[in-house]
Amino acid sequence: MLTDEQIDAIAAELAEADRTHAVIPRITARYPDATVEDSYAIQGRWRDTQLAAGRTLVGRKIGLTSRAMQQATGITEPDYGVMFDDTVYRSGDEIPVDHFSNVRVEVELAFVLKAPLEGPDCTLDDALAAIDYAVPALEVLNSHIELEGRTIVDTISDNAAYGAMVLGDVHKRPDEIDLRWVPGVLSRNGEIEETGVAAGVLGHPATGVAWLANKFAQHGARLEAGEIILAGSFTRPLWVSRGDDVSCDFGPMGTLTCRFV
């Protein structure tokens, strides 16, 4: 277990890396005994400094929920991070590449809650009942820790590699569509790069919402009405650079676009 001083120091280092868009050495290379509990403590300290600086929390991201992402990262356990209001983009927006490090995009569904969701025995049906609507999304990954050799401890500490999200325009209630079979056809500059279906996320994309509610219950917390929950990618991450036009066809949920500048 890390000391409070070490947790504070790493959180400050990550905050500076976020501010300067830099990459730091792996935490687990320097602190090989660091635990998952340590990594969430680091993330929590960083989150609290951001809230104190005036940022507003709008939701949570869940990561590593599909085999595609687990195989891409070599990490087999889901994780979560926080999302702030200044990281939300809309379809058609331009996204500054220089705001991020190791820039990649993933295909996801996001859920907006209409009611609080609380574990520890939350089920998929409970999650679906608490969801107001689903919306297609792209997640922009932002990794401030070197990628080679990283573990889940490094990823969680770095706010689960979350950078931003791009939300589409089509909203669907869970009873309007079978969310398992929402497709994602991801293209860069007109060329199809990745494809998948939302069932790749734990069998149903809203299963991750229930998982997160149960995880929060371990710390005496719950998901709140109005929060956006980014449920996890059902494609592998796609590297992007300045000048790339990215689009994703979600079939009945429309097409989402953005440009990296």
Residue-wise pLDDT for 100-126, tens only, equals: 999 999 999 999 999 999 999 999 999
238-241 CB contacts, 8 Å cutoff, 24+ apart: 238/104, 238/105, 238/106, 238/186, 238/188, 238/193, 238/194, 239/103, 239/104, 240/97, 240/103, 240/104, 240/105, 240/188, 241/97, 241/103
Q: What is the DSSP string of 58-81?
A: EEEEEES-BHHHHHHHT--S-EEE
Given this model, what pLDDT does residue 219 score? 81
Given this model, what pLDDT does residue 218 score? 86
Yes or no: domain 57-260 corresponds to CATH 3.40.50.970: no
Given this model, what pLDDT does residue 78 score? 76
Given this model, what pLDDT does residue 38 score? 96
160's enclosing H/E stretch is: none
Domain ranges of the chain: 57-260
Q: Do residues 57 and 51 lie in contact, with contact meaning Cβ atoms separated by under 8 Å? A: yes
Given this model, what pLDDT does residue 220 score? 85
Mean pLDDT of 226-250: 96
* β 191-197/238-239 pair status: unpaired
pLDDT in tens, 58-102: 999 998 666 666 666 666 667 899 999 999 999 999 999 999 999
Distances (CA, A) of 5 to 2, 11, 16, 41, 66: 8, 10, 17, 12, 35
Total Cβ atoms within 10 A of residue 261: 12
Cα angle 86-91-95, degrees, rounded to a multiple of 5: 50
pLDDT in tens, 138-175: 999 999 999 999 888 999 999 999 999 999 999 999 99
Given this model, what pLDDT does residue 121 score? 96
Given this model, what pLDDT does residue 233 score? 92
pLDDT in tens, 250-260: 999 999 999 99
pLDDT in tens, 3-22: 999 999 999 999 999 999 99
Q: Do residues 223 and 126 lie in contact, with contact meaning Cβ atoms separated by under 8 Å? A: no
pLDDT: which is higher, 69 or 178: 178
Nearest to 88 by CA among 140, 165, 170, 163: 165
Given this model, what pLDDT does residue 184 score? 98
Paired tokens of 112? 């907006």
Helix spans in the chain (H): 4-20, 27-30, 36-52, 67-73, 124-130, 152-157, 207-217
The pTM score is: 0.94
CA distance 85 to 77: 27
pLDDT in tens, 17-43: 999 999 999 999 999 999 999 999 999
